[in-house]
Amino acid sequence: MHDTVSAQPVAPDPGAIAESVRRALAEDVGSGDLTATLVPADARAEATIIAREDAVVCGTAWAGEVFRQLDPSIRIAWDVADGARVEADQRLCTISGPARPILTGERTALNFLQTLSGTATTARRYADAISGTRCRILDTRKTIPGLRDAQKYAVRCGGCHNHRHGLYDGILIKENHIAAAGTLTAAVHAARSLAAKKSGSTIAVEVEVETLDEVREALAAGADILLLDDFSLDDTRTAVALARAQGRARLEASGGIDLARLREVAGTGVDFISIGSLTKHLHAVDLSMRFRTTS
Protein backbone atom coordinates (compact mmCIF):
# COMPACT_ATOMS: atom_id res chain seq x y z
CA MET A 1 0.00 0.00 0.00
CA HIS A 2 1.35 3.45 -0.91
CA ASP A 3 4.26 1.88 -2.79
CA THR A 4 7.08 3.91 -4.25
CA VAL A 5 7.29 4.70 -7.97
CA SER A 6 10.43 3.52 -9.72
CA ALA A 7 12.01 5.19 -12.74
CA GLN A 8 10.71 2.39 -14.95
CA PRO A 9 7.51 0.96 -13.43
CA VAL A 10 7.17 -2.78 -13.80
CA ALA A 11 4.25 -3.75 -16.04
CA PRO A 12 1.63 -6.28 -14.93
CA ASP A 13 2.32 -9.97 -15.44
CA PRO A 14 2.54 -10.88 -19.16
CA GLY A 15 -0.08 -13.56 -18.61
CA ALA A 16 -2.52 -10.95 -17.30
CA ILE A 17 -1.80 -8.72 -20.29
CA ALA A 18 -2.35 -11.63 -22.69
CA GLU A 19 -5.69 -12.46 -21.06
CA SER A 20 -6.89 -8.85 -21.24
CA VAL A 21 -5.98 -8.73 -24.91
CA ARG A 22 -7.64 -12.07 -25.59
CA ARG A 23 -10.91 -10.80 -24.14
CA ALA A 24 -10.67 -7.52 -26.03
CA LEU A 25 -10.06 -9.27 -29.36
CA ALA A 26 -12.90 -11.71 -28.71
CA GLU A 27 -15.41 -8.90 -28.27
CA ASP A 28 -14.18 -7.03 -31.36
CA VAL A 29 -13.24 -9.75 -33.83
CA GLY A 30 -15.71 -12.43 -32.80
CA SER A 31 -15.97 -15.05 -35.54
CA GLY A 32 -13.79 -13.05 -37.93
CA ASP A 33 -13.05 -9.61 -39.40
CA LEU A 34 -15.36 -9.40 -42.40
CA THR A 35 -13.97 -6.15 -43.76
CA ALA A 36 -10.34 -7.30 -43.66
CA THR A 37 -11.19 -10.15 -46.06
CA LEU A 38 -11.57 -7.50 -48.77
CA VAL A 39 -7.77 -7.13 -48.65
CA PRO A 40 -5.77 -9.75 -50.60
CA ALA A 41 -4.54 -12.48 -48.26
CA ASP A 42 -0.92 -12.05 -49.36
CA ALA A 43 -0.86 -8.24 -49.08
CA ARG A 44 1.74 -6.78 -46.77
CA ALA A 45 1.69 -3.40 -45.09
CA GLU A 46 3.47 -0.89 -42.92
CA ALA A 47 1.66 1.30 -40.39
CA THR A 48 2.66 3.96 -37.91
CA ILE A 49 0.87 5.08 -34.77
CA ILE A 50 0.94 8.84 -34.31
CA ALA A 51 0.07 11.00 -31.29
CA ARG A 52 -2.44 13.70 -32.19
CA GLU A 53 -1.84 15.62 -28.95
CA ASP A 54 0.79 16.00 -26.24
CA ALA A 55 0.66 13.00 -23.91
CA VAL A 56 2.44 10.49 -21.70
CA VAL A 57 2.63 7.09 -23.39
CA CYS A 58 1.41 3.92 -21.74
CA GLY A 59 0.19 0.57 -23.02
CA THR A 60 2.93 -0.53 -25.41
CA ALA A 61 2.89 -4.11 -24.06
CA TRP A 62 -0.87 -4.39 -24.59
CA ALA A 63 -0.69 -3.01 -28.14
CA GLY A 64 2.18 -5.34 -28.98
CA GLU A 65 0.26 -8.31 -27.58
CA VAL A 66 -2.73 -7.50 -29.79
CA PHE A 67 -0.68 -7.97 -32.94
CA ARG A 68 1.24 -10.94 -31.52
CA GLN A 69 -2.01 -12.80 -30.91
CA LEU A 70 -3.36 -11.97 -34.36
CA ASP A 71 -0.17 -12.91 -36.21
CA PRO A 72 3.22 -13.56 -34.55
CA SER A 73 5.02 -12.55 -37.75
CA ILE A 74 4.00 -8.90 -37.30
CA ARG A 75 6.91 -6.75 -36.17
CA ILE A 76 6.64 -3.56 -34.08
CA ALA A 77 9.50 -1.07 -33.65
CA TRP A 78 8.75 1.32 -30.79
CA ASP A 79 10.20 4.82 -30.88
CA VAL A 80 9.10 5.50 -27.29
CA ALA A 81 8.69 3.59 -24.03
CA ASP A 82 5.93 3.68 -21.46
CA GLY A 83 6.22 6.83 -19.36
CA ALA A 84 7.69 8.93 -22.17
CA ARG A 85 6.26 12.35 -22.90
CA VAL A 86 5.36 12.84 -26.55
CA GLU A 87 4.21 15.81 -28.59
CA ALA A 88 1.43 16.12 -31.15
CA ASP A 89 2.35 14.47 -34.49
CA GLN A 90 5.13 12.42 -32.90
CA ARG A 91 5.46 8.80 -34.07
CA LEU A 92 5.11 6.15 -31.40
CA CYS A 93 5.92 3.04 -33.42
CA THR A 94 6.14 1.37 -36.81
CA ILE A 95 4.26 -1.87 -37.49
CA SER A 96 5.05 -4.15 -40.43
CA GLY A 97 3.72 -7.48 -41.63
CA PRO A 98 0.64 -9.04 -43.24
CA ALA A 99 -1.95 -6.37 -44.01
CA ARG A 100 -5.07 -8.21 -42.83
CA PRO A 101 -4.13 -8.75 -39.16
CA ILE A 102 -2.66 -5.25 -38.91
CA LEU A 103 -6.01 -3.83 -40.00
CA THR A 104 -7.88 -6.19 -37.69
CA GLY A 105 -5.82 -5.21 -34.66
CA GLU A 106 -5.86 -1.46 -35.25
CA ARG A 107 -8.81 -0.52 -33.06
CA THR A 108 -8.06 -2.88 -30.18
CA ALA A 109 -4.42 -1.80 -30.03
CA LEU A 110 -5.38 1.88 -30.14
CA ASN A 111 -8.04 1.37 -27.46
CA PHE A 112 -5.44 0.05 -25.03
CA LEU A 113 -2.91 2.75 -25.92
CA GLN A 114 -5.41 5.61 -25.82
CA THR A 115 -6.97 4.54 -22.54
CA LEU A 116 -3.76 3.83 -20.65
CA SER A 117 -1.96 6.86 -22.10
CA GLY A 118 -4.93 8.96 -20.98
CA THR A 119 -4.53 7.70 -17.42
CA ALA A 120 -0.74 8.23 -17.49
CA THR A 121 -1.13 11.72 -18.92
CA THR A 122 -3.60 12.74 -16.21
CA ALA A 123 -1.34 11.27 -13.53
CA ARG A 124 1.61 13.25 -14.88
CA ARG A 125 -0.34 16.52 -14.61
CA TYR A 126 -1.06 15.80 -10.94
CA ALA A 127 2.51 14.70 -10.21
CA ASP A 128 3.90 17.84 -11.85
CA ALA A 129 1.49 20.04 -9.88
CA ILE A 130 3.04 19.04 -6.53
CA SER A 131 6.63 18.77 -7.71
CA GLY A 132 9.03 19.84 -4.97
CA THR A 133 6.70 18.97 -2.09
CA ARG A 134 6.96 15.93 0.19
CA CYS A 135 3.39 14.89 -0.63
CA ARG A 136 2.55 11.97 -2.94
CA ILE A 137 -0.50 11.51 -5.15
CA LEU A 138 -2.36 8.20 -4.81
CA ASP A 139 -4.90 6.52 -7.04
CA THR A 140 -8.02 4.72 -5.78
CA ARG A 141 -10.09 1.61 -6.62
CA LYS A 142 -12.27 3.68 -8.99
CA THR A 143 -10.97 1.88 -12.07
CA ILE A 144 -12.49 0.42 -15.23
CA PRO A 145 -13.63 -3.15 -14.39
CA GLY A 146 -11.11 -5.64 -15.72
CA LEU A 147 -8.38 -3.02 -16.26
CA ARG A 148 -7.23 -2.32 -12.69
CA ASP A 149 -3.74 -3.76 -13.13
CA ALA A 150 -3.33 -1.80 -16.33
CA GLN A 151 -4.64 1.50 -15.01
CA LYS A 152 -2.62 1.30 -11.81
CA TYR A 153 0.46 0.66 -13.94
CA ALA A 154 -0.46 3.71 -16.02
CA VAL A 155 -0.71 5.79 -12.84
CA ARG A 156 2.85 4.79 -11.99
CA CYS A 157 4.00 5.60 -15.51
CA GLY A 158 2.58 9.09 -14.99
CA GLY A 159 4.63 9.61 -11.83
CA CYS A 160 1.93 9.04 -9.20
CA HIS A 161 1.57 6.20 -6.71
CA ASN A 162 -0.74 3.30 -5.98
CA HIS A 163 -3.04 2.99 -3.00
CA ARG A 164 -4.11 -0.56 -2.10
CA HIS A 165 -4.80 -2.69 -5.14
CA GLY A 166 -8.01 -4.23 -3.85
CA LEU A 167 -9.87 -5.29 -0.74
CA TYR A 168 -7.34 -8.03 0.01
CA ASP A 169 -4.09 -6.09 0.43
CA GLY A 170 -5.01 -3.21 2.71
CA ILE A 171 -7.40 -2.24 5.49
CA LEU A 172 -9.38 0.96 5.00
CA ILE A 173 -12.09 1.50 7.61
CA LYS A 174 -14.88 3.73 6.36
CA GLU A 175 -18.11 5.11 7.80
CA ASN A 176 -20.15 1.95 7.27
CA HIS A 177 -17.45 -0.24 8.80
CA ILE A 178 -17.44 2.01 11.88
CA ALA A 179 -21.23 1.80 12.11
CA ALA A 180 -21.09 -1.99 11.92
CA ALA A 181 -18.31 -2.21 14.54
CA GLY A 182 -20.05 0.19 16.93
CA THR A 183 -17.30 2.77 17.33
CA LEU A 184 -14.26 4.01 15.45
CA THR A 185 -12.01 2.75 18.25
CA ALA A 186 -13.55 -0.71 18.15
CA ALA A 187 -13.10 -0.90 14.39
CA VAL A 188 -9.43 0.13 14.59
CA HIS A 189 -8.69 -2.33 17.40
CA ALA A 190 -10.32 -5.15 15.43
CA ALA A 191 -8.31 -4.20 12.34
CA ARG A 192 -5.04 -4.10 14.26
CA SER A 193 -5.80 -7.55 15.68
CA LEU A 194 -6.48 -8.85 12.17
CA ALA A 195 -3.29 -7.32 10.77
CA ALA A 196 -1.24 -8.84 13.62
CA LYS A 197 -2.47 -12.33 12.73
CA LYS A 198 -1.05 -12.06 9.21
CA SER A 199 2.35 -13.70 9.46
CA GLY A 200 5.06 -11.37 8.21
CA SER A 201 2.41 -8.82 7.29
CA THR A 202 3.10 -5.13 6.80
CA ILE A 203 -0.58 -4.29 6.29
CA ALA A 204 -1.33 -0.76 7.47
CA VAL A 205 -4.57 0.09 9.25
CA GLU A 206 -6.18 3.15 7.70
CA VAL A 207 -9.36 4.82 8.91
CA GLU A 208 -11.50 7.50 7.30
CA VAL A 209 -12.24 10.44 9.60
CA GLU A 210 -14.66 13.32 9.09
CA THR A 211 -14.00 15.57 12.11
CA LEU A 212 -11.10 16.62 14.30
CA ASP A 213 -12.62 14.68 17.18
CA GLU A 214 -12.42 11.56 15.02
CA VAL A 215 -8.81 12.44 14.20
CA ARG A 216 -8.03 12.43 17.91
CA GLU A 217 -9.91 9.16 18.45
CA ALA A 218 -8.19 7.45 15.52
CA LEU A 219 -4.76 8.55 16.71
CA ALA A 220 -5.48 7.31 20.22
CA ALA A 221 -6.73 3.98 18.84
CA GLY A 222 -3.42 3.44 17.00
CA ALA A 223 -4.38 3.85 13.35
CA ASP A 224 -1.42 3.92 10.96
CA ILE A 225 -3.02 6.22 8.39
CA LEU A 226 -5.89 8.70 8.66
CA LEU A 227 -7.94 9.51 5.58
CA LEU A 228 -9.15 13.10 5.99
CA ASP A 229 -12.48 13.20 4.17
CA ASP A 230 -13.44 16.66 2.82
CA PHE A 231 -11.48 18.57 5.47
CA SER A 232 -11.05 22.32 5.17
CA LEU A 233 -7.49 23.62 4.84
CA ASP A 234 -7.51 24.90 8.42
CA ASP A 235 -8.76 21.57 9.80
CA THR A 236 -6.24 19.72 7.66
CA ARG A 237 -3.41 21.79 9.18
CA THR A 238 -4.74 21.06 12.64
CA ALA A 239 -4.89 17.33 11.86
CA VAL A 240 -1.29 17.46 10.64
CA ALA A 241 -0.21 19.09 13.89
CA LEU A 242 -2.06 16.46 15.95
CA ALA A 243 -0.51 13.60 13.96
CA ARG A 244 2.99 15.06 14.28
CA ALA A 245 2.55 15.38 18.02
CA GLN A 246 1.55 11.71 18.13
CA GLY A 247 4.60 10.95 16.00
CA ARG A 248 3.54 7.90 14.00
CA ALA A 249 0.38 8.16 11.91
CA ARG A 250 0.43 9.43 8.35
CA LEU A 251 -2.31 11.54 6.79
CA GLU A 252 -4.11 11.22 3.46
CA ALA A 253 -6.34 14.01 2.16
CA SER A 254 -9.28 13.15 -0.08
CA GLY A 255 -12.55 14.49 -1.41
CA GLY A 256 -13.07 16.86 -4.34
CA ILE A 257 -9.42 17.89 -4.65
CA ASP A 258 -8.73 19.08 -8.19
CA LEU A 259 -5.63 20.47 -9.89
CA ALA A 260 -6.50 24.02 -8.85
CA ARG A 261 -6.44 23.11 -5.14
CA LEU A 262 -3.80 20.42 -5.24
CA ARG A 263 -0.67 22.33 -4.30
CA GLU A 264 -2.47 24.24 -1.54
CA VAL A 265 -3.61 20.95 0.04
CA ALA A 266 -0.12 19.47 -0.34
CA GLY A 267 1.25 22.52 1.44
CA THR A 268 -0.65 21.65 4.63
CA GLY A 269 1.83 18.88 5.31
CA VAL A 270 -0.27 15.80 4.52
CA ASP A 271 1.66 12.76 3.36
CA PHE A 272 -0.73 11.72 0.59
CA ILE A 273 -3.57 13.06 -1.53
CA SER A 274 -5.83 10.44 -3.12
CA ILE A 275 -7.44 11.34 -6.45
CA GLY A 276 -10.21 9.14 -7.84
CA SER A 277 -10.26 11.05 -11.13
CA LEU A 278 -6.84 9.68 -12.10
CA THR A 279 -8.62 6.53 -13.25
CA LYS A 280 -12.33 7.43 -13.10
CA HIS A 281 -12.64 10.57 -15.23
CA LEU A 282 -10.89 9.21 -18.27
CA HIS A 283 -9.82 11.30 -21.25
CA ALA A 284 -8.47 8.94 -23.90
CA VAL A 285 -5.46 10.35 -25.70
CA ASP A 286 -6.04 11.03 -29.40
CA LEU A 287 -3.91 8.60 -31.44
CA SER A 288 -4.19 7.47 -35.04
CA MET A 289 -2.75 4.75 -37.24
CA ARG A 290 -1.42 5.61 -40.68
CA PHE A 291 -1.44 2.60 -42.99
CA ARG A 292 0.03 1.77 -46.40
CA THR A 293 0.40 -1.47 -48.32
CA THR A 294 3.93 -2.47 -49.32
CA SER A 295 3.08 -5.35 -51.68
- Parent domain of 90: 14-127+282-293
- Asked whether residue 156 is assigned to any structural domain, the reply reads no
Question: Which candidate in 85, 125, 142, 216 is catalytic?
Answer: 142
> Taking residues 79-94, what's their average pLDDT?
97
| 3: confidence class by pLDDT, cuts 50, 70, 90 | very low
Asked if residue 111 and residue 30 are part of one domain, the reply reads yes
Question: Which candidate in 229, 237, 263, 286 is catalytic?
Answer: 229
d(CA 218, CA 279): 29
The per-residue pLDDT for range 236-286, each reduced to its tens digit, is 999 999 999 998 899 999 998 999 999 999 999 999 999 999 999 989 999
Instruction: Decide: 208 and 227 in contact? Cβ < 8 Å.
Output: yes
Question: Which candidate in 52, 75, 107, 248 is catalytic?
Answer: 107
Question: Which candidate in 52, 75, 174, 244 is catalytic?
Answer: 174
Strand partners, 181: none
- Asked whether residue 103 is assigned to any structural domain, the reply reads yes
Give me the number of domains the chain comprises: 2
The pLDDT value recorded for residue 52 is 98
The pLDDT value recorded for residue 42 is 96
Asked if residue 180 and residue 116 are part of one domain, the reply reads no
The reply to whether 107 belongs to the active site is yes
The pLDDT value recorded for residue 143 is 95
Phi, psi for 128 (deg, rounded to 5) = -65, -35
Amino acid at 176: N
Asked if residue 287 and residue 220 are part of one domain, the reply reads no
Asked if residue 122 and residue 22 are part of one domain, the reply reads yes
The reply to whether 229 belongs to the active site is yes
Asked if residue 220 and residue 116 are part of one domain, the reply reads no
Instruction: Decide: 161 and 194 in contact? Cβ < 8 Å.
Output: no
The answer, yes or no, to whether residue 8 has pLDDT greater than 80, is no
> Taking residues 158-185, what's their average pLDDT?
93
> Taking residues 125-136, what's their average pLDDT?
96
Asked if residue 169 and residue 94 are part of one domain, the reply reads no
Q: Is the dihedral of CA 187, 192, 198, 202 positive or negative?
A: positive
Instruction: Decide: 257 and 265 in contact? Cβ < 8 Å.
Output: yes
The reply to whether 27 belongs to the active site is no
The reply to whether 152 belongs to the active site is no
- Asked whether residue 1 is assigned to any structural domain, the reply reads no
Instruction: Decide: 262 and 277 in contact? Cβ < 8 Å.
Output: no
The reply to whether 244 belongs to the active site is no
